[in-house]
Structure 1
Amino acid sequence: MSDTPRPADGGDYVLDAQGRPRLDRFGRPIRRRPARPAPPAGGAGQGPQWERPLRGERPGTPEPRRRPERPDPPERDPRLDPDRIRRRAAAERAAADRAAGAHRLPRQPRGARPAAAGRTRAMPAQPAPAARAQHADPRFPPPGYRPPAPPPPPRGRRGRGPAPKPRRRRPGCLRRPVRTLALLLVLLVLAAFAVVELRLQRTEVFADLADRPGRSAASNWLLVGSDSRAGMSEEENAALAAGGGIEGQRTDAILIAHIPLIGEPTLVSIPRDSYVEVPGYGMDKINAAFAYGGAPLLVETVERATGVRIDHYAEIGFGGFARVVDAAGGIELCPEEAIDDPLAGLDVPAGCGDYDGAAALGYVRTRSTAGGDLDRVARQREFLAALTTRLRSPGVLLNPLRLVPTLGAATTAVTVGDGDHSWHLAWLLGRLALGSASETVPVGGAMTVDVGDVLLWDEQAAADLFRRIR
């Protein structure tokens, strides 16, 4: 039987399902809360203690509320004394620990050798069933219970100290390298613009022009490829098959690049043998204007012949032409037929192939095909499209060994107008690299005059073409 003390009547304590008093966390029995006494049945005017008013109060005023007296608690059962219960439980646990310790093996000192394998280890005696029943109370651990030791902390990589906590990657860790790379790219682009801006060659083009066509929302470039040999040595002149003396300046390519704000750009080729009026010199070939008055007279001649206002100007000579192509690593061109022209230093088969600077220069200069000058202007547009495609390729833009020499060659080879800047050139190349339409001024016939063989424009078709790009 359990020797847990029970009161004579359990009315003052909370009992469990077996009729035993419940204990709190300190081992004391839980006492019931006493019931609050009810007020007198007759109300405030009944009973002697309610009838007499307090001193200092007026008769007839409501009496203050009084707390009823608490009845005396009943006598406590000595078996339910909390101190007595705690002492008894402590004595029982101490006796159980002594009984369990009598059967334990003595602790071996650190470094002692374990017992031989053949020896039988003495097991502690099991407590009697009566002792087990005595300590079956779930509130207390069984005799001899020892909590298990906590697991050792994990070791580090080299077995020294605790393992480091895994580092949590913050959400912004991946953004920092991306921002750094973007900043470097921006700085590289700004540096490239600064270098090009400082080294660009400029010439006065629009300062003295008068009676010009009206402006439009689009911008129009006049792109000129001249046979200028300025800065070329005798060896370079021979390697490029430029022909003639080193001095001299004529135009082998004249193009109008029409760049609208929205829409596809248009490249319009003007044959160099076009028979037009040159201001101050009468009727002549259009390329003669460049020989008579340079870029300003050529721009004025083109504006009067076409009615299109020229906003920007860019010119490149023979030597710079070849150096830019070589610095970019060559370009791919696709002639439809084999071309053999000793005067241009060109001998290529039909089909696509890689062209270096000298071969590309001969490709845009030769007229040894059935179409003559008309075929040449088509090849010039093909070359310009191939060059812009090469310049925007990753092999040039992302390769400093290609990008830096290309920028250096372009800045020394290209001459722009006095109001043009590096960002204007970037805008032009960027728009052309996305694709462009190609046109040639419609030709209505040919004739021979005192200045040689010339081409006559189809007046109606040419007027419609120029109206679209004004």
Structure 2
Amino acid sequence: MAGEWSEPTTVRTPRPRRRWPKRVALTLLVVLVVLVAYGVGLYFWAGSRLQTTDAFSDYDGRPAAGAGTNWLLVGSDSRENLTPEQRKDLHVGNDEGNRTDTIMVLHYGDNGPYLVSIPRDSYVSIPGYGKNKINYAYSVGGAKLLTQTVEQSTGLRMDHYAEVSFLGLVDVVDSLGGVEICVADGGLHDEKSGADFDGGCQTMNGTQALQYARARYSDPTGDLGRVKRQQQLVDAIAAKALSPGVLVPPWKLIPFVSAALDALVVDEGTGIAALANMGVKMSDPASTTTVPVGSEPNVSGVGDVVMWNESEADQLFTALREDKAIPTFGGN
């Protein structure tokens, strides 16, 4: 009808379709590509810096390979690359030559992981040198003779070898921002190692961690007490290194990996993948123990030594060789 009012027609403009799902997918894809590239790059960078040594030899009577995997882990206390100032700060003295005060076997397979300490004063047969303290093998023949000595003494064939130095240990702990160590009631005070700690849990830097792990003269259990502190420090380093706070941020992970690679020397057949797997296994061992000790006599021309409890030691090494649960002994 002419002149009748009608409501104006509203034309709706279509709203643009949201593209958030596509954007989120694209963002995640980019992040994934960056992470993969970062991981691959880190892997090859680490592999190019890995230091190796000739640690194994095929000799007559070498033990056959058992079940599972065995690592020989060694702490070298050589002062060769330390400045006079570093020797003083670390309280390591000025002894010359190559030595080791830490010898451990890490085993894993269907059972484990198990971390077994071998006291450095263990009185064993050293090929070509008669009977002596086990660390004497390292001082006269390096990694290769020490590996052979450990294999023949335990009946275990070693698959991998890894060695860390004094200064390397300090740098690794410092790269992690320190590690938490719980000191027994009564504290630990050892003038020779520099250890001066009250009882209780505390964060130790690299120098303090070394002092703690090397202390033995103020400990009534001597070297056996030091072995337990070394195991404790290894556990603390592995746990901190595999924590999200270190593994996730590149600014934390790269300094740690760099320090670890500078500190470590491995056998020529060990690569980054095997090394990383070893680190994972060490972070949560099913059991940490020491070769059972029978006595600690004084041997003429050698000094105070550690004699293994042969029966119990044989049970332990047999279980490791067969990848079975290790027995528990009263002294461990």
- Normalising by structure 2, report the TM-score: 0.90
Corresponding position: 1:151 with 2:10 = yes
Residue in structure 1 matched with residue 144 of structure 2 by the alignment: 296
How far off its partner does 1:387 sit? Answer: 0.2
SS in 2 for 1:289: helix
Residue type of the alignment partner of 1:151: T
d(CA) in 1 for partners of 2:287 and 2:22?
46
d(CA) in 1 for partners of 2:285 and 2:23?
39
Select which of 353, 357, 365 maps to 2:206. Answer: 357
SS in 1 for 2:152: helix
CA contact (8 A) 1:329 1:402 kept: no
Select which of 223, 226, 235 maps to 2:76. Answer: 226
Residue in structure 2 matched with residue 465 of structure 1 by the alignment: 316
SS in 2 for 1:334: strand
How far off its partner does 1:216 sit? Answer: 2.7
1:167-206 aligned at under 5 Å gives the runs 167-169=17-19, 171-206=21-56
Residue in structure 2 matched with residue 321 of structure 1 by the alignment: 169
Select which of 123, 127, 132 maps to 1:275. Answer: 123
Residue type of the alignment partner of 2:103: I
SS in 1 for 2:200: coil
Corresponding position: 1:441 with 2:300 = no
Residue in structure 1 matched with residue 97 of structure 2 by the alignment: 248
How far off its partner does 1:229 sit? Answer: 2.1
Residue type of the alignment partner of 1:265: P
Structure 2 regions of 5+ residues with no counterpart?
Answer: 322-332
Select which of 206, 227, 233 maps to 1:383. Answer: 233
Residues 201 and 181 from structure 1, CA distance in 2 versus in 1: closer, same or farther, beyond 3 angstroms?
Answer: same
Give the strand-richer structure, 1 or 2.
Answer: 2
Residue type of the alignment partner of 1:381: Q
Residue in structure 2 matched with residue 18 of structure 1 by the alignment: none
Give the helix-richer structure, 1 or 2.
Answer: 2
Residue in structure 2 matched with residue 65 of structure 1 by the alignment: none
Corresponding position: 1:454 with 2:305 = yes
- Normalising by structure 1, report the TM-score: 0.65
How far off its partner does 1:315 sit? Answer: 0.3
Per-residue deviation, residues 141-187 of structure 1 (Å, max 9, x unmatched): xxx6564320254xxxxxxxx5x714334655433322322322222
How far off its partner does 1:424 sit? Answer: 1.0
d(CA) in 1 for partners of 2:239 and 2:30?
28
Structure 1 regions of 5+ residues with no counterpart?
Answer: 1-96, 102-143, 154-161
Farther off after superposition, 398-407 or 425-434: 398-407
Residues 381 and 221 from structure 1, CA distance in 2 versus in 1: closer, same or farther, beyond 3 angstroms?
Answer: same
Residues 248 and 267 from structure 1, CA distance in 2 versus in 1: closer, same or farther, beyond 3 angstroms?
Answer: same
Select which of 334, 339, 343 maps to 2:192. Answer: 343
How far off its partner does 1:197 sit? Answer: 1.1
Per-residue deviation, residues 220-250 of structure 1 (Å, max 9, x unmatched): 00000010123221111111111124x4211
Residue in structure 2 matched with residue 213 of structure 1 by the alignment: 63
CA contact (8 A) 1:265 1:437 kept: yes
d(CA) in 2 for partners of 1:180 and 1:259?
37
CA contact (8 A) 2:66 2:156 kept: no
Residue type of the alignment partner of 1:192: L
d(CA) in 2 for partners of 1:227 and 1:413?
12
d(CA) in 1 for partners of 2:280 and 2:129?
38
Residue in structure 2 matched with residue 141 of structure 1 by the alignment: none
How far off its partner does 1:208 sit? Answer: 4.7
SS in 1 for 2:297: strand
Select which of 286, 309, 315 maps to 2:157. Answer: 309
d(CA) in 2 for partners of 1:400 and 1:232?
29
1:73-152 aligned at under 5 Å gives the runs 145=4, 147-151=6-10
d(CA) in 2 for partners of 1:424 and 1:355?
28
Residue in structure 1 matched with residue 326 of structure 2 by the alignment: none
CA contact (8 A) 1:227 1:248 kept: no
Per-residue deviation, residues 46-105 of structure 1 (Å, max 9, x unmatched): xxxxxxxxxxxxxxxxxxxxxxxxxxxxxxxxxxxxxxxxxxxxxxxxxxx5xxx6xxxx
CA contact (8 A) 2:213 2:226 kept: yes
d(CA) in 1 for partners of 2:30 and 2:219?
54
CA contact (8 A) 2:70 2:159 kept: yes
Residue type of the alignment partner of 1:266: Y
Residues 434 and 423 from structure 1, CA distance in 2 versus in 1: closer, same or farther, beyond 3 angstroms?
Answer: same
SS in 1 for 2:238: helix
1:34-45 aligned at under 5 Å gives the runs none
Residue in structure 2 matched with residue 257 of structure 1 by the alignment: 106
Query: Comparing both chains, which one has the higher relative contact order based on Cα–Cα distances under 8 Å and sequence gaps of 6 or more?
Result: 2
d(CA) in 1 for partners of 2:164 and 2:7?
89
Aligned residues with identical type, % of pairs: 42
d(CA) in 2 for partners of 1:269 and 1:333?
19
Per-residue deviation, residues 323-382 of structure 1 (Å, max 9, x unmatched): 111111110001113111111011001111000111101111111212111111111111
Residue type of the alignment partner of 2:273: W
CA contact (8 A) 2:115 2:285 kept: no
